[in-house]
Amino acid sequence: MKVVVFAHTPPPHHGQSYMVQLMLDGFGGDQRKKGRTFRTNYSDPDFPSLKPTRAGDFGIACYHVNARLSSNLEDIGAVRPGKFFLLFGYCLQAIWCRFRYGVNTFYYVPAPGKQAALYRDWLVMFFCRPFFKKVVLHWHATGMAKWLETAAQMRTRSLTYQLMKQVDLSVVLLQSNLADPLKLMPQRVAAVANGIPDPCSSFELEVHPRRLARYKARTILLAGQNVTAADLENTGGDPHIFKVLFLAHCTREKGLFDTVDAIALANQQLVARKAAVRIRLTIAGDFLNALEKTELQQRLLQPDLKADSFYAVRTGSSDLSGALAPVESWVEYRGFARGREKDRLFSECDCFCFPSYIESFGLVLAEAMAFGLPIVTTRRPGTPELLPPGYCELVDIRAPDQIAEALLAAMSKTSFQPLRHHFVNHFTVERHLASLAAAFRSVEPAYPTESPAGPAQLASQHSPAS
């Protein structure tokens, strides 16, 4: 099966561009560039490596049009005349691939509910769709259906339906994301969870023993008892610091400021209890808005985030406070983390906090589970599909008080192995590629199906819950 992949790869780096890169690598690379090795660049710290694959391993041959319109994250969504000329050139490339290589299937990633992004979708569908027999839309973002109904004018809705309705296949990341594609009445729908190369193959030998050692020492301290030198082994020397990680784009919508407020609230409770444990937050990610960066800098100067003097670990025979580096603040900003630095943060931290308002999937949650890292996240649609059944540390959006309570509860839980096993069973790149290839091939006439195609058909075997 030949597919024109009309989507950009990093840079800029975000979940959607990364998954497009993994798909291309997994399906054998860009067939327009024959004679080269098509696999992830092992020296690029932004991309965990994939095993080299050949075109045909999954029955999919990709012809890539790298439709990059923005050079950095800040430029995404900005309207510039030059972008329209770029987009027209990309459309010409796709049409050329249609006739030069005999490609009949067109793959495209539609935009969320934003006017400027929708203009892009209109132009691409207007120029490219008439030349291809099959169209596949891969919905990495959500919100278009609600936006069309609540914010868009009638002419906008009408033109969107005319250009994008009844495609051959719509792929969603989760079953809870069906509203957007079903609004446009596709012939077939498939839920295919994202998947990534395993970033923590050393979990059982290295990461899990350290998590258990820190948990046991922390439990002793929370009970008001002294830890021994033996208790401190394999803990890194600071089990009295419950290390929380926020790793994402640093925006209010991702829950950054809610997380910071929650750290202050949780530490206030620990001080009131006279507990020998404190919570420290590490923030890793880029800011998309200079005003929000300034707001965070000002927030970190507030007195409720200043480290108090009671954070030393006392053993049965000695006081280790003199050997510990002083902690000035309970929040530290590291900037954008990649490669080994990113993996180190996931390995060394004790909890991952990601109270986002806007995720369609939350690829970073899969990364955290790969490291067996306990998670505190929002109770938004789709979260139950991502986490193990019955997972408890879920909070409402814009609720720092609930986040604080969930972080305190996470201190005393050992969900390390269940989270790791959930990743292995549902979110590996091998599972993702196999499911995505099966969904692509389902649009071919000779591909067997168990039931007639239609807008209500959902290939549930591709969902993470299966």
Q: Where are the domains of the chain?
A: 2-196+428-462, 203-426
Is it true that 2-196+428-462 and 203-426 share their CATH fold?
yes
Least confident of 8-12, 90-94, 265-269, 288-292: 8-12
Q: Which residue has the higher pLDDT, 72 or 284?
A: 284
- Determine the pLDDT at residue 214: 97
d(CA 64, CA 55): 13
**55-69 pLDDT per residue, tens:** 557 999 999 999 998
User: Up-side HSE of residue 147: CA atoms within 13 Å toward CB?
Assistant: 15
Helix pair angle (416-426, 208-222), 10° resolution = 150
This prediction's pTM: 0.85
- Determine the pLDDT at residue 425: 96
Task: State the CATH architecture for 203-426.
Answer: 3-Layer(aba) Sandwich (3.40)
Backbone angles phi, psi at 283, to 5 degrees: -105, 125
Q: Which residue has the higher pLDDT, 384 or 175?
A: 175
**106-132 pLDDT per residue, tens:** 999 998 777 878 889 999 999 999 999
**% residues pLDDT > 90 (the chain):** 67
- Determine the pLDDT at residue 54: 55
pLDDT over 90 (residue 366): yes
User: Taking the C-alpha atoms of 405, 410, 411 and 415 in order, what is their torsion angle to the nearest 10 degrees?
Assistant: 170
pLDDT band at 325 (very low <50, low <70, confident <90, very high): very low
Max mean pLDDT range (83-87, 143-147, 163-167): 163-167
Q: Report how far Cα 5 is from the mean position of its chain's Cα atoms.
A: 21
- Determine the pLDDT at residue 149: 87
Structure token pair of residue 422: 């959930």
Residue with tokens 């209890």: 273
- Determine the pLDDT at residue 317: 44
- Determine the pLDDT at residue 147: 86
Q: Taking all residues of the chain, what is their mean pLDDT, rounded to a whole number?
A: 86
Closest CA to 27 of 435, 433, 438: 433
d(CA 143, CA 164): 15
- Determine the pLDDT at residue 33: 84
- Determine the pLDDT at residue 144: 87
Contact 218, 242 (CB under 8 A): yes
Mean pLDDT of 174-203: 94
First to last CA, the chain: 26
Least confident of 192-196, 303-307, 429-433: 303-307
CATH code assigned to 2-196+428-462: 3.40.50.2000
d(CA 141, CA 180): 9
d(CA 50, CA 40): 6
Contact 259, 308 (CB under 8 A): no
Mean pLDDT of 12-40: 80
pLDDT over 70 (residue 449): no
Q: Which residue has the higher pLDDT, 12 or 219?
A: 219
d(CA 14, CA 364): 10
- Determine the pLDDT at residue 338: 87
**% residues pLDDT > 70 (the chain):** 84
- Determine the pLDDT at residue 173: 94
d(CA 210, CA 235): 6
- Determine the pLDDT at residue 78: 60
**330-343 pLDDT per residue, tens:** 999 999 998 899 99
- Determine the pLDDT at residue 387: 95
- Determine the pLDDT at residue 324: 42
pLDDT band at 51 (very low <50, low <70, confident <90, very high): low
What does the radius of gyration of the chain's CA atoms come to, in whole angstroms? 24
Mean pLDDT of 291-299: 96
Q: Output the CA torsion sign for 166, 170, 174, 180.
A: negative
Closest CA to 6 of 178, 166, 123, 113: 123
